[in-house]
Amino acid sequence: MTDTPHHDVTGRGPVLLLVPGGAGHPMGLGPLTERLAARFTVVTYDPLGLAHGRLGAPVAEQRVADWSEGARRLLDEVLPAGDRAYACGTSSGGIAVLDLLARHPGRLAHVVAHEPPCVTVLPDGAERRAELIEQLDGPGRPPAEGGSATPMGVFLARILRPFSAYAPTAPLPPGRLTIAAGEGSRGQVLHRTAEFLAGRLGCAFTEFPGGHLGTLDHPVEFADALTETLRPPARATA
């Protein structure tokens, strides 16, 4: 039997699956999850187990499908049969929740993908992807393995390239997806990507407080905007 994917749970209410960006390490997300835990059962997915003793261990090049299948297995563990969860992923986590929605729509009530770096969807996507990789990985790379390994090192070595090549292809359920970008990201390639992707998929687009790292820089405001997106007041239960 396959082990349950690494995760943490806090709060009470409907299940909200949270998929961090980068290498999936939930570092710094405490204030965000604390705010969300007043309204949701927050299930924070750690795809590579980096916050659960796996940082420094060898990591193969990652596949989006593996992250989304791990998320599906996690939902099967924490979600009663027939129920649907909310999901939010940021950056590389945003790509994972897009793939999760495409593969397992029956398990999800609504998904927010915040600045997923699917830059290849743009008309000049190949050039923008090359620029993104150079910008992030050009100056040098922290270690991905061993005692001095960092989550950023893992992201640059094993995740950045395969994930930035991802583009949603399967039809997605109408009305159950919102693509978000940070207000502070206006004029940047990931904001442009988010708007373009929302138009291509025919889904809602919205802006959240902060920039690409709004979950860290503006956790309370980000949590409130996410809650309003997932459970608008007109549909919220008492």
pLDDT tens for each residue of 213-234: 999 999 999 999 999 999 988 6
Backbone angles phi, psi at 26, to 5 degrees: -85, 25
Give the residue, 169 or 106, on which the prediction is more confident: 106
Give me the mean pLDDT over the 82-95 stretch. Answer: 97
Q: What predicted TM-score, i.e. pTM, was given to this entire model?
A: 0.95
Closest by Cα among 125, 31, 40, 32 to 84: 40
Query: Quick check: 237 pLDDT over 70?
Result: no
Q: What would be the CATH architecture of the domain defined by 7-230?
A: 3-Layer(aba) Sandwich (3.40)
pLDDT of 5: 97
Give Cβ neighbours of residue 82 (< 8 Å, ≥ 6 apart): none
Spell out the domain ranges in the chain: 7-230
pLDDT tens for each residue of 117-159: 999 999 999 999 999 999 999 988 999 999 999 999 999 999 9
Give Cβ neighbours of residue 119 (< 8 Å, ≥ 6 apart): 125, 128, 129, 132, 164, 189, 190, 193
Query: Quick check: 1 pLDDT over 60?
Result: no
**Distance (Å, rounded) from C-alpha 193 to C-alpha 128?**
10
Give me the mean pLDDT over the 1-20 stretch. Answer: 92
First to last CA, the chain: 39
